[in-house]
Amino acid sequence: MEKDEYTYEDYQETFNWLKRKTTLQPKVAVICGSGLGGLADKLTQPEVFYYKDIPNFPRSTVEGHAGCLVFGYLNGQSCVMMQGRFHMYEGYSLKKVTFPVRVFKLLGVHTLIVTNAAGGLNPNFEVGDIMLIRDHINLPGFSGQNPLRGPNEERFGTRFPAMSDAYDRNLRCLARETWRQMDFKKRELQEGTYVMLAGPNFETVAECRLLQRLGADAVGMSTVPEVIVARHCGLRVFGFSLITNKVIMDYDSLETANHQEVLETGINAAHKLEKFIFRLMEHVSKPEGIPH
């Protein structure tokens, strides 16, 4: 029977298993969202481990998520990448969804990059845009669905971690400057707030209108739990949403959102995000200190 709760020793067990399998010491972790797993193909000296073989790891069951943990170097930076993440809608607890993040902390990772495919709520966004995540709205958290719920593990972090600085300001500035130096058509990188819903259904028109009024620019079904746990254990975080579809805001519209569209758009636009993150790796240095 699979666990829904974990002890410090469970994280340590997974860490020890990985340390026996690889000598690479990653400093940056990347979680690849739907259709974005191709970034791992750019790693040099790759070492691939399937989730099913890693102790305590869940398995990814969603199309577009390969289900591999890949160690290697991206533009000279030592990295570990998740080709596929875990979601609430797969039936996993949030402890299980976020399990890898604390393992990354034990491995010596100092920075987490999160990526996702998202629906565009901001009317100024276009399909294929990349949105730098400035902030998030944790809607499942409003009903008590939080990965930190339960006894606090002080060896990872404090009981009440701040989230007002969840997405590192310096890294966001770096991302904007790097974007301007690249040959993309849009001179300015989109930036905004990501809202998480539990899924797996896409949103109703009324829900999309509400989310827009709440101040959200993009909507998806992932990312926020991993960010909360990463900040709890002191990792720097920055993230990107690939806008793969425009949400339906009009009752007269004959369009409907579907996962295949998300994957196809991701394939067509992902190379831009991959190229961008590759370039960013030149500048993601070890922080002097990481506040909780």
Task: Report the chain's C-alpha Rg in angstroms.
Answer: 18
56 included as an active-site residue = no
Which residues are within 8 A (CB) of 270 and not within 5 positions of it... i.e. 6 or more apart? 35, 36, 38, 39, 242
Residue 174 neighbours by CB distance under 10 Å:
17
Contacts 24+ apart (CB under 8 A), 183-187: 184/272, 184/276, 186/129
65 included as an active-site residue = yes
Report the pLDDT value the prediction gives residue 1, as an integer from 0 to 100: 43
User: Catalytic residue among 56, 259, 261, 264, which?
Assistant: 259
87 included as an active-site residue = yes
Peptide bond before residue 200 is cis, with ω within 30 degrees of 0: yes
**Mean pLDDT, the chain, as a whole number?**
89
Domain ranges of the chain: 22-147+159-280
Alpha-carbon span 72 to 47, nearest angstrom:
6
User: Is 71:47 a contact under the CB 8 Å cutoff?
Assistant: yes
Report the pLDDT value the prediction gives residue 43, as an integer from 0 to 100: 93
User: Catalytic residue among 40, 245, 270, 281, which?
Assistant: 245
Q: What is the dihedral of CA 217, 221, 223, 224, to 10 degrees?
A: 80
User: Catalytic residue among 40, 78, 81, 87, which?
Assistant: 87
182 included as an active-site residue = no
Report the pLDDT value the prediction gives residue 270, as an integer from 0 to 100: 78
User: Is 92:98 a contact under the CB 8 Å cutoff?
Assistant: no
User: Catalytic residue among 6, 40, 65, 166, which?
Assistant: 65
221 included as an active-site residue = yes
CA neighbor of 235 nearest in space, from 172, 292, 170: 292
Kindly state the average pLDDT of the residues 175-204: 90
245 included as an active-site residue = yes
Residue 135, phi then psi, degrees to nearest 5: -160, 170
Per residue in 34-87, pLDDT (tens digit) is: 767 788 889 999 999 999 999 999 877 666 556 899 999 999 999 999 998 999
CA neighbor of 193 nearest in space, from 166, 171, 230: 166
Alpha-carbon span 78 to 7, nearest angstrom:
28
Per residue in 153-188, pLDDT (tens digit) is: 999 999 999 999 999 999 999 999 999 988 887 767
User: Catalytic residue among 40, 81, 88, 117, which?
Assistant: 117
Strand partners, 209: none
162 included as an active-site residue = no
Report the pLDDT value the prediction gives residue 37, as an integer from 0 to 100: 77
Report the pLDDT value the prediction gives residue 274, as an integer from 0 to 100: 87
User: Which pTM was predicted?
Assistant: 0.92
Alpha-carbon span 153 to 147, nearest angstrom:
12
Alpha-carbon span 7 to 241, nearest angstrom:
32
222 included as an active-site residue = yes
Tell the CATH topology of 22-147+159-280.
Rossmann fold (3.40.50)
Alpha-carbon span 96 to 104, nearest angstrom:
14
**Residue 292 pLDDT > 60:** no
DSSP code of residue 53: G
